[in-house]
């Protein structure tokens, strides 16, 4: 049972890392990335769909995203959705392909993005701390109910702390890499 609790913490911290990677991929760093627009919701035939379900998205140049809808009828609704998403990108269409050119980042914008990177990293760490606290409470209750010994509780507490320390180190590493990526001109 204590091992199941530790596995639950591992699962929660892994989910937090995956979520952090997703959030980092959405940050505009001056280089084009399909992840910036692939989840923009577009109205299509009366239903809302993510852009990646309506068009192929490619990166022909380092500062440009090309979106080729599978149906030309969708071009205007895709342009509206991108504009409404407040990504700071202006869609230009030639009737077949929509092109998004990413403007170069200013120093001020880079600093704002670094703050956002740190916020996302801190949110992930909070998720890890919450998972640790929840699991620690369960373990202490098990010891109180005499389901596990005090020695086993101490051993599992150390394992739990190691899991959370490894998670925090991974988050810090991801944040440093993303910060470097953002600040690289």
Domain match, 125 and 177 both: yes
- Looking at residue 68, its pLDDT comes to 93
Pair (97, 110) in one structural domain: no
> Is 167:16 a contact under the CB 8 Å cutoff?
yes
| Contacts of residue 61, Cβ cutoff 8 Å, sequence gap at least 6 | 32
Supply the pTM of this predicted model.
Answer: 0.70
| 136 vs 108: which has the higher pLDDT | 136
Statement to judge: residues 46 and 14 lie in one domain: no
pLDDT in tens, 24-60: 877 766 677 888 888 889 998 889 999 889 999 999 9
pLDDT for position 137: 93
Dist. CA 38–CA 18, nearest whole Å:
17
> Predicted confidence band at 132 (pLDDT cuts at 50, 70, 90)?
very high
CA 160 to each of CA 2, 126, 129: distance values in angstroms, whole numbers, following the listed order: 10, 15, 11
Confidence of residue 185 (pLDDT cuts 50, 70, 90): low
Query: Of 77, 101, 125, which residue constitutes the final position of a domain?
Result: 101
Residue found under tokens 């997703």: 22
Range of the domain at 128: 2-26+106-183
């Amino acid at each position: 049972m204590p091992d199941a609790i530790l596995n639950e913490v591992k699962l929660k911290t892994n989910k937090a890392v995956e979520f952090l990677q997703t959030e980092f991929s959405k940050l505009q760093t001056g280089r084009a990335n399909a992840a910036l627009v692939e989840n923009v919701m577009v109205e299509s035939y009366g239903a809302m769909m993510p852009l990646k379900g309506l068009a192929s998205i490619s990166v022909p140049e380092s500062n440009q995203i090309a979106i080729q809808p599978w149906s030309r009828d969708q071009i205007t609704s895709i342009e509206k959705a991108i504009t409404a998403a407040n990504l700071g990108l202006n869609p230009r269409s030639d009737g077949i392909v929509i092109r998004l050119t990413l403007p170069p980042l200013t120093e001020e914008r880079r600093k704002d993005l670094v703050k956002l990177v740190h916020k996302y990293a801190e949110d992930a760490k909070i998720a890890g701390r919450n998972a640790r606290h929840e699991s620690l409470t369960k373990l202490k209750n098990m010891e109180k109910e005499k389901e596990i010994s005090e020695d086993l509780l101490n051993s599992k507490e150390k394992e739990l702390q190691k899991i959370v320390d490894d998670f925090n180190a991974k988050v810090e590493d991801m944040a440093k890499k993303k910060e470097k990526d953002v600040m690289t001109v």
